[in-house]
Structure 1
């Protein structure tokens, strides 16, 4: 059954998949070359890495239709290592990052994605759309009017052509038409060749030329760990975008191990580690690339362009790629979230906005997601704390406290404030049968309250101790009252 599903992911509508993958290739080129300068490596290192990653992830990944390549988040992490120790240490870090990702996949650490709320995911996507658009601004500032004319023409082709013909993706037509215009009517516009020297040969197997000892391991390990975590985070977030867009299931575990295998292959071919790329993936999905063939094509076509069509790729005007990436940016942004800012709860909107703002300011998707997850956790704790109810009534010579809700570190002070430790009652009943105690902070708080009351010769009864975690009680509670079995 699994093999039949895997085979179907390669064979369904091959013409559409190939054309969509070609769109993904052209969307890769400008960003990958730009990221190579961020990392401090030649463009060939990032371009070959994107080829290897796309081909490998098509074979071993868990999310068909997702485009992977040398991403900016990973480039930011590895840049200090390249500047301080050189490319060879980067290759060693890439190999180790791939191995760690395989371990993460085998250990099922992808479950951490369950802690990423919908607001954070929306902020992630919107921030990426803004970053994609802002990355095009250098190509639109301080340029001749010819560039603006070509960008406008490119956008017209991209958005109007599908109304007439949808067999060939309009971004491909845009690139071909604008390249032909510049070829037959030269004009002062930037071309792909101006981005840097493009590779002309095939990638070859290499082995990092570093001393294989503890010093090297200690040098590359922190970078490898960061690359592995950030790469998986961005890949799994991208996979979520594909899953939502296609109403299909994702195999996070397979995606983790697939990314690991891909990055090991990248390191062996002299490339920089990579991960899933949301913008390119959205472009791929927009034109029907939902299978593994489109992902494979994005990488294979990139190699063909670099090796066989090198001279033609160098002639492509940047205006064509800018128009394509503007389309990708507009498609990526969740425009419905703007309405949500008005109608959604303010705290939920705060999480989304904070994710966007931090991501844009740091240009680091992982930082934005981390802040969003942290805020989501704080807000959840705040909301759970507000649901705690403590009622008190006097029953003869007894004080009875009935507690309901989620009891954890954030609500421990509420309990201390609610229970009168200087009571004149001879007996205090603390009823937690309708509450849930989650952590040692609350167990310690209960234990402290009981101990203080007992020091004033008050008899204390805690009802509901059978629902507590007795391992926590044995370790953190000292009062005999917790030995009550109900």
Structure 2
């Protein structure tokens, strides 16, 4: 335990420090942009990013993961801010944190096991596309200098590692391009053009709203989606960082940590946030592995925007666009395109549906819900095909025994009924369920139907070999042993 603690905190100090600087520089314009999306002052997003970065380093379940203000969360705040103002947003942020903490305390993070790999891949690919699309405004209706600077930034980012990996190439790209623009005086859009940077540190700020049922009813419809989207994106990010670092996350601790971080953000005048796949990938690719990288990112961000505002304001957006294009390229699962030839059609449909819905709605929760729903439908249909019924008849031709093998539930119940010959003249029928499992009321209704149809034809029916779980469900929901069952089947 002590070894793990030391590794998570002090096992990679230099790498975490440099990666934290890169992340902080990339976070600044994003936090400002997300504040603008939500309709609040830029400092609300910047304060949120600082608070969440620092707090999550201590209480989160994934070292090396970056959490801050995000676009997915900002989109859900627009109506609340427009109709009720900043104070109600702060209350919603606090409630979001409480809900997330409760989710973690109830160990709901384990529900991520129901999200299939194809949904995760679709989610990641959609996010890569959204990150790329978010850069288009910075590359539209601009002078050729912007394209040249962006291309130069990409060249440095991808070329420098061949020479040295001592310092993260995105950091070098930002410094060199900023220096070039300041030296030459090229007129391009900079961070300062996005909004006024704050000139003071965040302070404790209790929302100035009445704490009553009316306020709760106003903020709850926003806090609940914020909590769910935040946890979904955080859990997805954990999956990606787990793969990149070949380590394991604590999902329930992450849920609780996100809740604590959002409560802290709300009390310091910040908006709700969550884990960021793009920034987490920047951190990992820049050498960040431990919890210090998140602290360095948060502290560097607040120091730069408050005390070095003049320098930060001079950073060309073209340099940061180059970094985000690198993130989009690195985030997209290029192997998923190649693997489409080998993967089943159902897997490809789930992945593509997730991508299309997320990109079309800009809502990660809806996309993941559609993906999980489709995956569940395809899985149920597939398992339903793994049921088989065989039979053999006695020498005198009056007794047939049916052997049922496999899973009987709503998708296979129709096939179950169709596998029996009700028109055969028999005195006795045995249905052997020793190698079968009945799951739901639909399957029990199908068994009832088979039994009652045979009885209507005058055959005696015996059901044998039910396991305990099947027997429990049949006893609870079955009707074939009721006196009026055949009358009901025939519609009398």
| Length-normalised TM-score, structure 1 | 0.95
The corresponding residue for 1:475 is: 476
**TM-aligned CA deviation for residue 470 of structure 1:** 4.1
Q: Could you say what secondary structure the match of 1:205 adopts?
A: coil
1:379-424, Cα deviation, whole Å (9 max, x unpaired): 1111111111122444321233221111111111112222244543
Change (3 A) 1:85 1:260: same
For residues 38-437 of structure 1, the aligned pairs below 5 Å read: 38-395=37-394, 396-437=397-438
Moved more, 467-476 or 6-15: 467-476
Whole-Å Cα distance in 2 between the matches of residues 216 and 471 of structure 1? 47
**TM-aligned CA deviation for residue 40 of structure 1:** 1.5
Which ranges in structure 1 are unaligned for 5 or more consecutive residues?
A: 482-486
1:350-382, Cα deviation, whole Å (9 max, x unpaired): 211111111111112222211111111111111
Change (3 A) 1:325 1:466: closer
Moved more, 387-396 or 372-381: 387-396
Hey, which bits of structure 1, 4+ residues long, moved more than 4 A? none
**TM-aligned CA deviation for residue 445 of structure 1:** 2.1
**TM-aligned CA deviation for residue 120 of structure 1:** 1.0
**TM-aligned CA deviation for residue 65 of structure 1:** 0.2
Cα RMSD (Å): 1.6
**TM-aligned CA deviation for residue 36 of structure 1:** 1.5
The corresponding residue for 1:464 is: 465
Whole-Å Cα distance in 1 between the matches of residues 390 and 355 of structure 2? 42
Whole-Å Cα distance in 1 between the matches of residues 333 and 197 of structure 2? 35
Whole-Å Cα distance in 2 between the matches of residues 224 and 72 of structure 1? 15
1:146-189, Cα deviation, whole Å (9 max, x unpaired): 11111111111111112222211111111111111111211221
Whole-Å Cα distance in 2 between the matches of residues 274 and 366 of structure 1? 15
The corresponding residue for 1:484 is: none
1:278-307, Cα deviation, whole Å (9 max, x unpaired): 011001100110110111111111101111
Whole-Å Cα distance in 2 between the matches of residues 5 and 35 of structure 1? 35
Change (3 A) 1:145 1:212: same
**TM-aligned CA deviation for residue 274 of structure 1:** 0.6
Whole-Å Cα distance in 2 between the matches of residues 232 and 257 of structure 1? 10
Whole-Å Cα distance in 2 between the matches of residues 249 and 468 of structure 1? 34
**TM-aligned CA deviation for residue 207 of structure 1:** 1.2
Q: Could you say what secondary structure the match of 1:210 adopts?
A: coil
Q: Could you say what secondary structure the match of 2:240 adopts?
A: helix
**TM-aligned CA deviation for residue 79 of structure 1:** 1.7
Moved more, 432-441 or 114-123: 432-441
Equivalent residues of 2:24, 2:301 under 8 A apart: yes
Equivalent residues of 2:437, 2:467 under 8 A apart: no
Whole-Å Cα distance in 2 between the matches of residues 431 and 55 of structure 1? 62
Q: Could you say what secondary structure the match of 2:80 adopts?
A: helix
Whole-Å Cα distance in 1 between the matches of residues 422 and 37 of structure 2? 61
The corresponding residue for 1:10 is: 9
Whole-Å Cα distance in 2 between the matches of residues 183 and 19 of structure 1? 23
The corresponding residue for 1:21 is: 20
Equivalent residues of 1:232, 1:275 under 8 A apart: yes
Q: Could you say what secondary structure the match of 1:434 adopts?
A: strand
**TM-aligned CA deviation for residue 327 of structure 1:** 0.9
The corresponding residue for 2:455 is: 454
**TM-aligned CA deviation for residue 114 of structure 1:** 0.3
**TM-aligned CA deviation for residue 81 of structure 1:** 1.5
Q: Could you say what secondary structure the match of 2:341 adopts?
A: helix
Equivalent residues of 1:73, 1:366 under 8 A apart: no
| Length-normalised TM-score, structure 2 | 0.94
Q: Could you say what secondary structure the match of 1:126 adopts?
A: helix
Which ranges in structure 2 are unaligned for 5 or more consecutive residues?
A: 483-492
Whole-Å Cα distance in 1 between the matches of residues 94 and 453 of structure 2? 57
Q: Could you say what secondary structure the match of 1:93 adopts?
A: helix
